[in-house]
Amino acid sequence: MTRLSSGLLLLFSATIAVHAQQEICAKQVDIASEADLSSIAACSTFSGSVTISGAGINAVAWPALNSLTGSIKVTSNPHLAGLHLDGLKTSTGTITLYNNTILSVVDMPNLQSINSLEIVTAPNLRQLSLSSVETMKSLKIEDTGLDNSGTLPWSRLRQATDLGVSNNKFLKVIDMPSLKVVSGKLVIAANGVMEGQSDGSSLLLSNLTACSNCTFRHLTELKVPSLSAVSASLSFDETSLEKLDVPALKTVGQTLSIVSNNVLSNISFAELTSIGGALLIANNTELTTIDGFQNLKDIAGVLNMRGAFNNISLPHVTNVQGGMSVLSSSNDFDCSTLAKVKAGARGKTVCRAKVVSAKPTNAEGSLVNAGTAAGDISMGSAFAATIMTAAAILFF
Ligand SMILES: *[C@@H]1O[C@H](CO)[C@@H](O)[C@H](O)[C@H]1NC(C)=O
Ligand SMILES: *[C@@H]1O[C@H](CO)[C@@H](O)[C@H](O)[C@H]1NC(C)=O
Ligand SMILES: *[C@@H]1O[C@H](CO)[C@@H](O)[C@H](O)[C@H]1NC(C)=O
Ligand SMILES: *[C@@H]1O[C@H](CO)[C@@H](O)[C@H](O)[C@H]1NC(C)=O
Ligand SMILES: *[C@@H]1O[C@H](CO)[C@@H](O)[C@H](O)[C@H]1NC(C)=O
Ligand SMILES: *[C@@H]1O[C@H](CO)[C@@H](O)[C@H](O)[C@H]1NC(C)=O
């Protein structure tokens, strides 16, 4: 071979190698051992889909990876302790980590924007480094061992479409100081819940101004001083809050529900003027006065309250399009305080005090027997159906 042709050959095989490399970076790859990892190790952009699964993997490090447009799935690795994607800067793809029982460290310190990241069932996860992420489409962190000992992954997060943090039993404080908008679903539930030890978590969202469909459960503290608009539904359930204060909220697009908060005695929505769906307040055993809706005017759905209230003050509510159903077990409650509330054409108004015990529903969700006070008005079926869709646990 001449010198020239051997040079060409070398170039040619290098080109083949680059092509082969590019090809594998776009392929579906199954990794079952650490040795298998070498096939993709050189990819700096990965557009394929890789599944890393099995008993043969103790650690995954992929320092060359800079940009992910495909997917990385790390699932059911009983021996995997660490996942290190230190070079990763952008991800328009998805990263899912499911059922990695001893996984304790996940490092993506340089990642700035991310499409979707889900970490579900990682009971030993202690370190999640995501400290550069500012925007993301979807983040789900469920059933992990994350606690408050280190820097939390979302300190710089400004915006998300969907955000779910639930069932992280060691996580007692959730503080997202930069978060401004969650345009889709926001679910914070069952964090810091350990039987006999703690009832939930603090939730501090000091800069949150808007969310769309927001569910908050098992909270011991809540700070949402800037929240001013909820475009779909908002619910506070099973919290240990004595006071529920949402001072800047002006509108809720759909249902506002406050259910089963067993020490709640004060509800305050000082700026709230309109609710596009139902207002549901039920099974809050310590709540005797409802005076926190002093500016509320419009309720497009059902006004639905169940409890031991003495006093409900809704000075500006005169028209509830979906109807009204208020049952109080208190002897001191006076339905005449709600006399000016009129239902829209499709709704009815029902208000009763001294209900011996507010009765449960039958399987169809209509009242079995709502008590025996005078002035009963039977509920139309459209009305019952509206209540049923508002929540399945209204009656107790
Ligand atoms: C979780 O992973 C273990 C192996 O680590 C496997 O045996 C088990 O089936 C997985 N569970 C689920 C729900 O995937
Ligand atoms: C909160 O929002 C304000 C106003 O937009 C901004 O100046 C401030 O830096 C934000 N705080 C954090 C911690 O992001
Ligand atoms: C809000 O979330 C609830 C519960 O997850 C769901 O049933 C409902 O369809 C959602 N509504 C919107 C408008 O996304
Ligand atoms: C009422 O709330 C308590 C907690 O405050 C809860 O344990 C119970 O299940 C709730 N009842 C219903 C019917 O939702
Ligand atoms: C709730 O707290 C506010 C002060 O934030 C107070 O004005 C109001 O009277 C309280 N309501 C009840 C029922 O304690
Ligand atoms: C009910 O609450 C309102 C507002 O807090 C108050 O003005 C009114 O006196 C209370 N009525 C009764 C019967 O306690």
Helix (H) or strand (E) holding 92: strand 90-98
C-beta 321 within 6 A of ligand 1 = no
Tokens of 109: 């310190």
pLDDT of the residue at 346: 79
* Ligand with an atom nearest the CA of residue 80: 1
Ligand (nearest to CA of 239): 4
The pTM for the full model equals 0.86
Residue 1 has pLDDT above 60, yes or no: no
Integer angstrom CA distances of residue 171 from 128, 167, 219: 13, 9, 11
CB of 104 closer than 6 A to ligand 1?
A: no
In a 3-state reduction of DSSP, which class is residue 155? coil
Q: Percent of the chain beyond pLDDT 70?
A: 84
Q: Give residue-wise pLDDT tens across range 348-385.
A: 999 999 997 654 433 333 443 333 232 233 333 333 33
- Domain ranges in the chain? 66-390
Pocket test for ligand 1, best of 51, 74, 76 (most atoms within 8 A of CB): 76
Q: Do β-strands 251-252 and 319-320 pair in parallel, antiparallel, or remain unpaired? A: unpaired
Ligand 4 center–CA 283 separation, angstroms: 6
The four Cα atoms 257, 262, 265, 271 give a dihedral, to 10 degrees, of -20
Query: Which DSSP symbol is given to 390?
Result: H
Nearest atom in ligand 3 to the alpha carbon of residue 232 is 13
pLDDT of 283 above 80: yes
Identify each DSSP E strand in 190-317 by its residue range: 193-194, 198-199, 201-204, 210-217, 219-223, 229-230, 234-237, 243-245, 251-252, 256-259, 266-268, 274-275, 279-282, 289-290, 298-299, 303-307, 311-312
pLDDT at 4 over 50: no
Looking at residue 20, its pLDDT comes to 65
Calculate the alpha carbon distances from 354 to 58, 210, 372, 395 in Å: 64, 39, 9, 15
Q: Is residue 96 lining ligand 1, measured as CB closer than 6 Å?
A: no
Angle, vertex CA 84, rays to CA 78 and CA 85, nearest 5:
130
Interval between CA 65 and ligand 6 midpoint (Å): 64
Provide the H-helix boundaries in the chain. 3-24, 381-390
Q: Does 289 contact ligand 5 (Cβ within 6 A)?
A: yes
Half-sphere exposure of 243 (CA within 13 A, CB side): 10
Angle, CA 269 vertex, CA 264 and CA 274 arms, to 5°: 130
- The closest-lying atom of ligand 2 relative to the alpha carbon of residue 158 is 14
pLDDT digits (tens, 9 = 90+) for 293-330: 999 999 999 999 999 999 999 999 999 999 999 999 99
d(CA 35, CA 45): 20
Type of residue numbered 11: L
180 sits in the region (left: phi over 0; alpha: psi -120 to 50; else beta) called: alpha
User: 74 C-alpha vs ligand 2 centroid, how far in Å?
Assistant: 35
Predicted local distance difference test score (pLDDT) of residue 393: 34
Whether ligand 6 lies within 6 angstroms of the CB of 273 is answered as no
pLDDT, tens digit (0-9, with 9 covering 90-100), for 211-250: 999 999 999 999 999 999 999 999 999 999 999 999 999 9
DSSP calls for 181-196: EEEEEEEEES-SEETT
Q: Give me the residues paired with residue 297 across strands.
A: none
In the chain, % of residues over pLDDT 90 = 76
Sign of CA dihedral 369, 370, 374, 375: negative
Give the mean pLDDT of 279-300.
Answer: 96
Q: What is the pLDDT of residue 18?
A: 60
HSE-CB at 12 with a 13 A cutoff on CA atoms is 6
Q: Is 266 in the pocket of ligand 5 (CB under 6 A)?
A: yes
Ligand 1 atom 3 nearest Cα: 76
Instruction: Please give the pLDDT value at position 23.
Output: 85
Q: Taking residues 11-40, what's their average pLDDT? A: 79
User: What confidence score (pLDDT) does residue 190 get?
Assistant: 96
Q: Whose CA is nearest to atom 10 of ligand 2?
A: 178
CA–CA gap between residue 285 and residue 263 (Å, rounded): 7
Task: Give the pLDDT confidence score for residue 304 in this predicted structure.
Answer: 95
